[in-house]
Amino acid sequence: MTLQHYIDEYLPAIETELQHIIGTTKTEHYHGLHEMLAYAMGWKGEGAGPRARGKRVRPLLVLLTNASAGGSWEKALPAAAAVELVHNFSLIHDDIEDNSPLRRGRPTVWKLWGIAQAINTGDTMFTLAQQAVTLLKATTTPTITLEATQLIQQTCLHLTQGQFLDISYEDRADLVIEDYWPMVRGKTAALLATSTELGALVANVDSETRNAYHNFGCNLGLAFQAQDDYLGIWGDTEITGKSVASDLVECKKSLPVLYGLGKNGAFAERWRSGPITQEEVPEIAHQLELEGGRAFTKSEAERLTARALQDLEDADPQGDAGDALSELANKLLKRDV
Amino acid sequence: MTLQHYIDEYLPAIETELQHIIGTTKTEHYHGLHEMLAYAMGWKGEGAGPRARGKRVRPLLVLLTNASAGGSWEKALPAAAAVELVHNFSLIHDDIEDNSPLRRGRPTVWKLWGIAQAINTGDTMFTLAQQAVTLLKATTTPTITLEATQLIQQTCLHLTQGQFLDISYEDRADLVIEDYWPMVRGKTAALLATSTELGALVANVDSETRNAYHNFGCNLGLAFQAQDDYLGIWGDTEITGKSVASDLVECKKSLPVLYGLGKNGAFAERWRSGPITQEEVPEIAHQLELEGGRAFTKSEAERLTARALQDLEDADPQGDAGDALSELANKLLKRDV
């Protein structure tokens, strides 16, 4: 079986589990709340469908890891749902915090229903995520359920810590490369590390294997983000051919930008003097490249990709599911940087 | 021992437990996040102190209930901390959602640090609340810990459902008295019911007693809110002598207001025509009284108070702690309405 076979098998089960959990809110008085949750999940409202749902990478990682570690994937479904709900909760709140009008091609929850309802809908999604993981009680032991619950909680703490840094950085002109890692570890890597670790935990593997799966998810997240940050400046024209809004225009505190700020050269001077326009992008991207930002980001992405793949080898994923997990990792990581 | 003796014994232990939990966030990179959390708890920043901390009624209820039900109160400290953290998380987000500039006499978190940081700080507090309850693992059994965790989760869902209604009601002109109860059950009664139930759960009582404690907390919350709503219109001059901003000016969807709206009389007509000024308050309060809103609210508060006290009798609280719990209930409920 290839990765696509697993995706075709797992995705409908993931959606069913998510719909079951979110369906518990569809009670008297609260239909409006359920509607916002279903919109955020990509099931309802204008533009509902596959693109609005996103790729469900995190729950797929939970199930594939679980199967690769010798588990019965159905038993890990509550954990798979939990990580996806945590992800979607954080998107609802991040979109308010970042003032983003669009998400996956649709208006964000706060744009449609206002900030007050959006904050509260995010809180509801957060609660449902916490509830989801305790459903493991029915498929595993109380001890594994409690461990998984605490793992999700610790991850939520890391997410908010990463987000705290991201927001704080907006007002700071003194950022350096060292400021990048704690932010991206919290915002991106923590939930991916927990996704792969949860799969292993529910499969009840030894602590060494569980640790290897955790590290795999963590480095997968870091590598993916480093790549994404590279493509956010140098990827649009060369690879995709699309003219996307550059991270430079959006003032994103990405890996190459923090590298450049730490260099304190012409790039840093221009960055600190105010917003960058679309017209300036080629020149400023070139300046950042001259200062070493492009080569540095590329080498970091490669270094982290190699580490993630080594971690996966250490985890020693088994069978067809193991092959599919490697295929997914390579698919996520082997974009041409 | 009187209630005051218990308060003197429990309050420092509650603060220590809370500080221990929130202290886990005081790590490299995240001092600023810890500072906001400590501000919200009333420990740091301008105006820190007893008034800024609030009365800690919910954790006191957990510990007093636990002791009254035959438990060792120290073992219930993680549950006590959890309910207080849930309460403070909801205040941080409610203040953004309600656009409130002040809380316990101090600027709100969003007023000082902006909406983005305030949303995220609330999320952090929410996560810490979830983490707190799992600390019961060290003082009770895994089964009780999981039950308590699920109880807190269910309560958070009720809180967000109540808040959803509260926000929705802002745009609605067709509210009636039946719309009041689901809102106040979620926003106020749910967490008080969980506070008293958690105390009983950790004491490992039979399900009948646990149920009675739950109902006591629930009706205590409903009675308290009905009273508070009464005093928000008719209490200021008569009882406290203070000139407080009337609930009528603040457009609060309180019990007498929803009663009046359901009557569809002169009060409802005036309410629907736009904001009420301070000068109009005496006349409009009088109109609402003429339509029966005052007598109705008074009788509801009395009815719910009687039920709460009956529930407490059914729970049969034991010993000095039981007496102190009754004293606390009477103190909260026996304001002159």
Report pLDDT for B240: 47
Residues A111-117 have a mean pLDDT of 98
> Average per-residue pLDDT in chain B?
94
Chain A: residue whose CA lies nearest to B116: A97
pLDDT exceeds cutoff 90 at A17: yes
Q: Chain B partners of A182 at a C-beta cutoff of 8 Å?
A: 28-29
Q: Are A164 and B109 in contact (CB under 8 A)?
A: no
Read off φ and ψ for residue B102, nearest 5 degrees: -125, 145
pLDDT-based confidence at residue B241 (cuts at 50, 70, 90): very low
Is residue A256 within 8 A of residue A230, CB to CB? The reply is yes
Whether the predicted pLDDT of B227 surpasses 90:
yes
Cβ contacts of A142 on chain B, cutoff 8 Å: 142-143, 146
Chain B residue whose CA is closest to A92: B119
Residue A15 has pLDDT above 60, yes or no: yes
CA proximity to A15, closest of A50, A65, A66: A50
| pLDDT tens figures, A282-319 | 999 999 999 999 999 999 999 999 999 999 999 999 99
Q: Cβ B123–A156 below 8 Å, yes or no?
A: yes
Q: Do B119 and A96 touch (CB under 8 A)?
A: yes
Cβ contact A29–B165 (<8 Å): yes
Distance CA B217, CA B232 (A): 22
Q: How far is CA B162 from CA A117, B24, B53, B74, B260, in A?
A: 12, 30, 24, 31, 21
Q: How far apart are CA B217 and CA B236, in angstroms?
A: 26
- For residue A174, pLDDT over 50 is answered with yes
The pLDDT > 70 percentage for chain A reads 96
> In the predicted model, is pLDDT for residue B167 greater than 80?
yes
What is the signed CA dihedral for B209, B214, B219, B220, rounded to 10 degrees?
A: 100
Residue A123 has its nearest CB partner, among B93, B115, B150, at: B93
The tokens for A182 are 């704690």
Of B30, B93, B145, Cβ closest to residue A161: B30
**Contact between chains at A150 and B134 (C-beta distance less than 8 A):** yes
Dist CA B317 CA B171 (whole Å): 44
Query: Can you say whether residue A140 is alpha, beta or left, with left for phi > 0 and alpha for psi between -120 and 50 degrees?
Result: beta
Q: Residue B2, Cβ neighbours under 10 Å: how many? A: 11
Tell me which chain A residues have a C-beta less than 8 angstroms from the C-beta of B26. Answer: none
Contact yes or no for B116 and A167 at CB 8 A: yes
What residue in A sits closest to B136 (Cα-Cα)?
A146
pTM of the model: 0.95
Residues B297, B283: Cα–Cα separation, whole Å: 18
CA A304 – CA A332 distance, rounded (Å): 13
Least CB–CB distance from B146: residue in A117, A126, A142? A142
Are the beta carbons of B157 and A30 separated by less than 8 Å?
A: no
- Tell me the pLDDT band of A242, cut-offs 50, 70 and 90: very low
Mutation target among B24, B30, B36 for the A interface, most CBs of A within 10 A: B30
B150 and A165 within 8 Å at the Cβ level: the answer is no
Inspect the interface and report whether the beta carbons of A160 and B127 lie closer than 8 Å: yes
- Are the beta carbons of A134 and B154 separated by less than 8 Å? no
Structure tokens given for A76: 């890990």
pLDDT above 70 (res A241):
no
pLDDT at A213 over 50: yes
Answer whether A134 sits within 8 Å of B153, measured CB to CB. Answer: yes
Binary contact (A157, B131; C-beta < 8 A)? yes
- In this predicted structure, what is the pLDDT of residue A237? 58
Residues of B in contact with A33 (CB under 8 A): 160-161, 164
> Between residues A155 and A174, which one has the greater pLDDT?
A155
Name which of B83, B82, B260, B257 is nearest B166 in CA terms: B257
CA distance A322 to B4: 62
pLDDT at B137 over 80: yes
Q: Residue A336 has what pLDDT? A: 44
| Residue B228 identity (one-letter amino acid) | D
Residues of chain A contacting residue B97, judged by C-beta atoms under 8 Å apart = 115-116, 119-120
Contact B156 A123 (CB under 8 A): yes
- Secondary structure of chain A in the HEC alphabet? CCHHHHHHHHHHHHHHHHHHHHHCCCCCCCHHHHHHHHHHCCCCCCCCCHHHHCCCHHHHHHHHHHHHCCCCHHHHHHHHHHHHHHHHHHHHHHHHHCCCCEECCEECHHHHHCHHHHHHHHHHHHHHHHHHHHHHHHCCCHHHHHHHHHHHHHHHHHHHHHHHHHHHHCCCCCCCHHHHHHHHHHHHHHHHHHHHHHHHHHCCCCHHHHHHHHHHHHHHHHHHHHHHHHHHHHHHHHHHCCCCCCCCCCCCCCHHHHHHHHHCCHHHHHHHCCCCCHHHHHHHHHHHHHCCHHHHHHHHHHHHHHHHHHHHHHHCCCHHHHHHHHHHHHHHHCCCC
What residues of chain B lie within 8 A of the CB of A120, using their CB?
93, 97, 160, 163-164, 167
Confidence grade of residue B171 (pLDDT, cut at 50, 70, 90): confident
Mean pLDDT of B44-49: 96
Which pLDDT score is estimated for B237? 58
Nearest to B142 among A33, A97, A146 (CB): A146
- Residue B337 above 80 pLDDT? no
Kindly tell me if the per-residue pLDDT of B244 is higher than 60.
Answer: no
Q: Is A292 left (phi over 0), alpha (psi -120 to 50) or beta?
A: left
Residues of B in contact with A134 (CB under 8 A): 146, 149-150, 153
Cross-chain residue pair B146–A145, CB shorter than 8 Å: yes
The crossing angle, in degrees rounded to 10, of helices B190-202 and B142-169 is 170
How near does any CA of chain A get to the CA of B205, in Å? Answer: 21
Closest-CA residue of A relative to B150 is A131
Neighbouring CB atoms inside 10 A of B306's CB total: 13
CB contact under 8 A, A126 and B126: yes
Show Cβ contacts of residue A191 under 8 Å, excluding neighbours closer than 6 positions. Answer: A58, A83, A86, A87, A90, A155, A159, A221
- At A333 the pLDDT is 87
Separation of alpha carbons B157 and A126, rounded Å? 9
Q: Can you give the pLDDT at residue A236?
A: 63
Q: Please, what sign has the CA dihedral across residues A130, B90, A90, B27? A: negative
pLDDT of residue A239: 55
Q: How many CB atoms lie within 10 A of CB A22?
A: 22
Return mean pLDDT, chain A.
94
Structure confidence at residue A337 (pLDDT): 37
Return the pLDDT at A244.
Answer: 57
* Residue A124 distance to chain B (closest CA, Å): 6
**For chain B, how big is the Rg over CA atoms in Å?**
20
Please name each of the domains of chain B with its CATH number. 3-333 (1.10.600.10)
Query: Residue A161: which of B33, B114, B126 has the nearest Cβ?
Result: B33
Task: Spell out which residues of chain B touch residue A191, defining contact as CB-CB under 8 Å.
Answer: none
Number of A/B CB contacts below 8 angstroms equals 143
Burial zone of A242 (CB within 10 Å; 0-12 exposed, 13-18 middle, 19+ buried): exposed
Percent pLDDT > 70 in chain B is 96
Q: Are the CB atoms for A153 and A65 separated by under 8 Å?
A: no
Nearest to B146 among A25, A134, A161 (CB): A134
| Residue B157's pLDDT band (cuts 50, 70, 90) | very high
DSSP B26-79: -STT-HHHHHHHHHHTTSSSTT-SHHHH---HHHHHHHHHHHHTT--GGGGHHH
d(CA A321, CA A172): 45
Is the separation of the CB atoms in A233 and A248 below 8 Å? yes
Task: Look at B164 and A124 and tell me if their CB atoms are within 8 Å.
Answer: yes
pLDDT at site B250: 85
Give chain B positions within 8 Å (CB) of A115: 96-97, 115
Looking at the partner chain, which of B28, B121, B134 has a beta carbon nearest the beta carbon of A153? B134
Stated as kind and residue range, the H or E segment containing B297 is helix B293-315
| Contact present, A258 and A176 (Cβ < 8 Å) | yes
Q: From the CA of B317, how many Å to the nearest CA of chain A?
A: 31
Q: How far apart are CA A283 and CA A233, in angstroms?
A: 11
Most distant CA atoms of chain A, gap in Å: 61
